[in-house]
Chains A and B, each alone.
Chain A
Amino acid sequence: MPEHKAIRVALVGNPNTGKTSLFNQLTGLNQKVGNYPGITVDKKVGKSQLGKDMIASVIDLPGTYSINPTSIDENIVLQTLLNQDHDDFPDVIVVVADVENIKRNLLLYSQIKDLQIPTVLAINMADQLALKGVEIDLETLKNELKSEVVLVSARKNQGIDDLKKVLIDYKKLNTEPLATISSRIDKLYFEEMDTSISGLSLYKTWLYVTQMQEFPGLDEKEIEIIQKYKQDQQKIKKYQHKETIFRYQQINAILKKTYSVDRSKAKDLRSRLDRVLTHRIFGYLIFALILMMIFQSIFDWANVPMDYIDAFFAELSSKAQQWLPEGKLSDLISEGVIPGIGGIVIFIPQIAILFLFVSILEETGYMSRVVFLMDKIMRRFGMSGKSVVPLISGTACAIPAVMATRNISGWKERLITILVVPFVTCSARLPVYAIIIALIIPDDRVLGIFSLQGMTLLGLYLLGFLMAIVSGFVLHKTLKVEGKSFFLIEMPDYKLPSMKNVFFTVIEKTKAFVFGAGKIILAISIILWFLASNGPAAFDTADKDFQAAYLSDEKSSTSYDEALASYKLENSYIGVMGKSIEPAIRPLGYDWKIGIALIASFAAREVFVGTLATIYSVGNDDEEQSTIKQRMSEEINETTGEKLFNLPVGMSLLIFYAFAMQCVSTLAIVKRETNSWKWPLIQLMGMGLIAYLASFITFSILN
């Protein structure tokens, strides 16, 4: 396809205005998610066909209430729009507002308009005008705002073509500022500011003065002048206060002429639902039920595809062994790559289901009610109501969970949430749990209903949450961290979730997880395979040495090939590594093979199963395909002659995986989010120590 002229369109708007729906509607499946350079905030860009020969590259900027940022996400909006040299600096901005909160949305609009970039106002959810009892005089509104205004309904696909038409003619859009702050607040102060930097508009200079951060694109002299103005913080605050009030006055005057709402027509769904969902008893009950339902479905629904995936990769691996010509490369594929990929693919079902529920809860507006319900409780543990969302997301993966702490404004509350989130049982632990539980817990039912295995798993989840809460409390009491906490959330109206949005979110997040974690897991699988199929001098002569030893030992019951394989593994590089840490892990009940898996899974927990798969499949010439589970259950403890994975060892491993910080990616994200190595290191040491002690106690009691 020949590349037509692509203009850059930026979508800006408050959270909950349907900005993402509009983005999905404009771009369809032509969207890409990446990260902003240097920061791991989602950057969504998509192509949209505006007209016959005009394409737009649409960027969905993070939701924000104003361009005075209070978080990293919001900061991106300002950084993108203020700097003309920015890669994403738009040719035209679409400010998305919704019918119900138009006043507050216009505050953002008024700030954006003053940046003097061509701007369109898109009023979303226009299909609900009548339902909400709202009337808008569109023509007058256009005049008053000195701008194009388009009514759209992103969910119903209405008005999108009108918006596209306006965007095609973006050069005709008026770029006059809306508010002239200088004349209304302190004329002398602003006039002086305006003349002190000639190349910039007054509003831009004022923004530079008011913001804490540094901006690229200014020369030294300009920075010096801005620094001078920054000295008087009290004055700045006072004038920001006045500016906001002035903007609202202006907006109120405009809305008076153009907008009317008949509240009696508005349906009172919100207050009726709120009465139940934030009720002092039912509120918590419903939340607990929803959580239970989520976990129940994760295990019920995901089990079937997971078993299939497991069996599929086991078969694929053995088929690959038969089909490919014998040699190092085919060994690498069948014993390293395929089990490695299988280890990632297996938990796609669970991650997808979890993200499905989380995004539905967010879309409906229910999540804000949870934040509201939980704030007081969470504060006792040094966190905020907003910490509930990261803690729930943590059941999928700690990485997005750590990033979701960004809207917690108090530094101490945010830090504690970041530090305790990895205790929450993430999906990476699931394969480990699933396989060990299947090995050590009988498939019985308690009272005829509850599956004993399921209860064990539930217990491990509760243990994770409990540990997160308890360590939150300890940190709350011990951490001496400065930082004012401020809590403010919007309680959005209830909405039916848009299946399209939910679908995109699930696909996007699952994809990000699979590719993010996948790379590490695959790389480690290959390294492991290499370390397991090569070794120091003794490894190379293994065939000869072993033959003599095996033949002289008549009692051996295992087949020659199998015994040779395990002898070779023992003498491989990884075997040597596993053996060298054996003294340290023996008190926990582990042998050197588990030690290998433990070493490998410090990079990422899910590697555990893949590692065992690799370890047990290296040199495994079984004609019949066997799953990892079968191989593990057949494993014998060399000293006792009993099954290796018995109850004490299994429980000790479960506890270890519940508490230990075994995820390099999380550590990297924590480093980035806290801006120092101090916190990830504390996390690594602290969690490791807790895991070791807890496993030691568990093993000692059960043994």
Chain B
Amino acid sequence: MDTSIANLRVGERGMIQEISLEKIPLSLLEMGCIPGESVELIQRAPLKDPLYIRVNGSHLAIRTETAAQILITKE
């Protein structure tokens, strides 16, 4: 089932399907967030936003609005 990183629960993983540079800047790709990589939601900030994820060896924090733009399939 296709969903986005924003819909993961803490501890869940997914595989990145599609990223568009229209919606997400190049820097996120350069941090390792590219199609085909597995992404795990490590934690949500206490007020539910931002998200703390691990992708392609990088530990990153992004906001929910960005996470919602990254489509994944759940693993």
Contact A486 B26 (CB under 8 A): no
Residues of A within 8 A of B47 (CB): 280, 376-377
* A262, B37: Cα distance in complex, Å: 19
**A240 contacts B21, CB within 8 Å?**
yes
Alpha-carbon distance A170/B66, docked complex (angstroms): 43
Q: Which residues of B contact A283 (CB under 8 A)?
A: 46
Closest Cβ of chain A: how far from B70's Cβ, in Å? 12
Given contact pairs A70-B27, A103-B32, A487 touches B46 in the complex (Cβ within 8 A): no
* A interface SS class: helix
| Cβ-based interface call for A539 (8 A) | no
| A488 pairs with B49, CB closer than 8 A | no
Does chain B have a CB within 8 A of A68? yes
Q: Which of B30, B32, B47 has most A Cβ within 10 Å?
A: B30
The answer to whether the Cβ of A621 comes within 8 Å of any Cβ in the partner chain is no
Contact A372 B45 (CB under 8 A): yes
Task: Please tell me which one of the listed residues B26, B29, B49, B60 contacts residue A376 in the complex, with CB atoms under 8 A apart.
Answer: B49
From 1 to 46 in chain B, residues with beta carbon under 8 angstroms from any chain A beta carbon are 19, 21-22, 25-32, 34-35, 42-43, 45-46
B27 partner, pick from A248, A274, A278, A488, beta carbons under 8 A: A488
> CB distance B61 to A368 under 8 Å?
yes
CB distance from A388 to the nearest CB of B (A): 13
Chain A interface residue count, Cβ-Cβ cutoff 8 angstroms: 42
Candidates B32, B43, B50, B52; contact of A104 at CB < 8 Å:
B32
Instruction: Please determine whether A274 and B46 come into contact, CB atoms closer than 8 angstroms.
Output: no
User: Is A490 a contact of B60 with CB atoms below 8 Å?
Assistant: yes
CB distance from A402 to the nearest CB of B (A): 23
Query: Is A375 touching B50 in the complex (CB atoms < 8 A)?
Result: yes
Question: What is the total number of residues of chain B having a CB less than 8 Å from a CB of chain A?
Answer: 31
Task: Assess whether A244 is interfacial by the CB under 8 Å rule.
Answer: yes
Q: How distant is the Cα of A487 from the Cα of B28 in the complex, in angstroms?
A: 10
Among B21, B26, B46, B47: residue with most chain A CB under 10 A: B46
Which of A238, A248, A371, A375 meets B32, CB within 8 Å?
A248
Q: Are B61 and A488 in contact (CB under 8 A)?
A: yes
A-side contacts of B58, CB under 8 Å = 101, 103-104, 490
| Count of CB-CB pairs between chains A and B under 8 Å | 110
Q: Is the CB of A241 within 8 A of B46?
A: no
> Are A487 and B30 within 8 A (Cβ)?
no
B59 near A492 (CB under 8 angstroms)?
A: yes
Of the candidates B19, B22, B59, B66, which one forms a contact with A490 in the assembled complex, judged by CB atoms under 8 Å apart? B59
With A240-B21, A241-B21, A376-B45 given, is the CB distance from A486 to B57 under 8 Å?
Answer: no
Q: Tell me which of A70, A248, A284 has the highest count of chain B C-beta atoms within 10 A of its own C-beta.
A: A248
Interface string of A282-321 (1 = CB under 8 A from B): 0110000000000000000000000000000000000000
Contact A491 B34, beta carbon cutoff 8 Å: no
0 or 1 for each of A194-213: is its CB under 8 Å from B? (1 = yes): 00000000000000000000
Q: CB distance B30 to A68 under 8 Å?
A: yes
- Give the complex CA separation of A419 and B37 in angstroms: 40
Q: Is the CB of B56 within 8 A of A248?
A: yes
Among A251-297, those with CB < 8 Å from B are 270-271, 274, 278-281, 283-284
Contacting pair B57 A487 (CB below 8 A)? no
- Cα distance, A487 to B45, chains bound together (Å): 14
Q: Which residues of B contact A371 (CB under 8 A)?
A: 61
- Chain B residues contacting A238 (CB-CB under 8 Å) are 21
Q: Is the CB of B59 within 8 A of A245?
A: no
Q: How far is the CA of A501 from the CA of B42 in the complex (A)?
A: 30
B residues engaging A (CB < 8 A)? 19, 21-22, 25-32, 34-35, 42-43, 45-50, 52, 56-63, 66
Q: What are 20 A-to-B residue pairs whose CB atoms are below 8 Å?
A: A68-B30, A102-B57, A237-B22, A237-B26, A238-B21, A241-B21, A244-B26, A244-B30, A271-B42, A274-B42, A278-B46, A368-B61, A373-B45, A375-B50, A375-B63, A385-B50, A488-B31, A490-B60, A490-B61, A491-B61
Kindly list 11 other residue pairs between chains A and B, CB separation below 8 angstroms, not including A240-B26, A491-B61, A492-B59.
A66-B27, A104-B56, A241-B21, A244-B26, A245-B35, A375-B63, A376-B49, A487-B66, A488-B27, A488-B61, A488-B66
The 7 closest A-B pairs by CB, nearest first: A280-B46, A376-B47, A491-B59, A237-B21, A66-B30, A103-B57, A244-B29
